[in-house]
Structure 1
Amino acid sequence: MGRRTTRAAAGEVQQREPATHDVTWAGEARSAVGYATLLSTLLTLVDAAAGTLTYPRTALWLALGALLFAVLWPTRVTAVRGRLISRGLWRRREVHTDRLVSVRWSPGVSQRLILRDADGNRAQVDPRVLKANPALWHVLDTDTRTSVERGLLCCGETALRQLAARVDGETARNVFKVSGLQ
């Protein structure tokens, strides 16, 4: 597969930047499906073994499996120069990363990086996704530097430095592990 090309103006061919995707997403999605199926199946089998399985109870076990699926379904993160797109089960969020005005950590136990652009768009990214995907981090880092150079990023440089330290540390550990220097 090559790069996609689009027609610009009057026969001029323009090449698009290739999109960078979260490489761990497919495995997490398979796990969500597997765990939800396993839960529904086990609950149904236990109920059938006890002799109390009815249609309403089967529907309840399937609904619990569907709820677990919805909770476990991972957000798919894609980055292209200038944009970061996060797709959940029901929503799609897109921010222009070269026009960021705010980058901050979400409060709470499950830390997320909250990105807000000049148009008011918001997206949340799990820092583990960026640590596992150096190419995604590179696109985001390059674009946030553009926001800083343009004077748009008014708050969030500390959060970006903290994230950069995490991602760089994880990348260095992986390089040492692969090269046998660990």
Structure 2
Amino acid sequence: METAHDRRWARDVKDAVRCAGVLLLLLLLVDWGSGRFTPWRGLLWLALALLLFLVLFPARVSAGEGWLAARRLLYERRVRTDLLVSVRCLGGVSPRLLLRDASGARVEIDPEVLVNNPDLWRRLEEDAGKAAADGLLLCGQTALRRLSARVDRETALAVFKASGLE
């Protein structure tokens, strides 16, 4: 099976650029409208917009046979999915899925990436099933079942919508 990639990554990067650009534009317009604009303040607003872009920049998730990787701007984290020992759902403002393998490597990804990319989900599900069958995956089978049910539900809704049966 080939390497699967996040198909929505490019769109998410464009959205991050748009958000940062809109913030920069609004800050510059407010500053200019109040008559307090200076080059130093413009540089400050640019730095703030750049910081927002860095916060919003999505990880590029890809998966192949036995591995899953999340690439950020400066680093890449990779985990062996056929050697998974735990899968945890981390709640909060932005839900995350934390995968850890037998060698201690960790990857943290947004579960939406798996929901929106069935190819990535199939790779992870297949390899996690192998790890569970080998007795390695001791923590996280419930989280994977919940995610599987969600992926199935979203896929069914997409099929119904595409066929006009919604």
Assess same fold via TM > 0.5: yes
In structure 1, the partner of 2:151 is 167
1:86 aligns with 2:70: yes
Instruction: Report the counterpart of residue 110 of structure 1 in structure 2.
Output: 94
Which residue of 2 is the match for residue 40 of structure 1? 24
Q: List per-residue Cα deviations over 1:73-99 (Å, max 9, x = no partner).
A: 111110111110001233311000000
2:137 to 153, 156, 160: 153
For the residue of structure 2 that corresponds to 1:153, the secondary structure is coil
Q: Which has the larger share of helix?
A: 2
Aligned to 1:132: 116
Paired position in structure 2 for 1:24: 8
SS in 1 for 2:85: strand
- Counterpart of 1:12? none
**Using the alignment, how far apart are the partners of 1:173 and 1:59 within structure 2?**
46
Higher-Rg structure is 1
CA-to-aligned-CA distance 1:31-73 (integer Å, 9 cap, x gap): 1111112211221132123221112101111011001101111
Structure 1 Cα separation of the partners of residues 26 and 100 of structure 2? 43
Q: Which residue of 2 aligns with 1:10?
A: none
The CA RMSD measured in Å over matched residues stands at 1.2
Alpha-carbon shift at residue 171 of structure 1 (Å): 0.5
Q: Which moved more, 1:43-52 or 1:72-81?
A: 43-52
Q: Which residue of 2 aligns with 1:65?
A: 49
Normalised by the length of structure 2, the TM-score is 0.95
SS at match of 1:93: strand
What's the % identity of the aligned pairs? 52
**Residue number in structure 1 paired with 2:161:** 177
Q: Answer 1 or 2: higher relative contact order, Cα 8 Å, separation at least 6.
A: 2
Task: Give the whole-Å Cα distance in 1 for the aligned partners of 2:160 and 2:65.
Answer: 29
Unaligned residue ranges in structure 2 (runs of 5+): none
Q: Which amino acid aligns with 1:41?
A: L
Secondary structure of the corresponding residue to residue 79 of structure 1: strand
- 2:103 aligned residue: 119
Match in the other structure for 2:80: 96
Q: What's the CA shift for 1:145?
A: 0.7
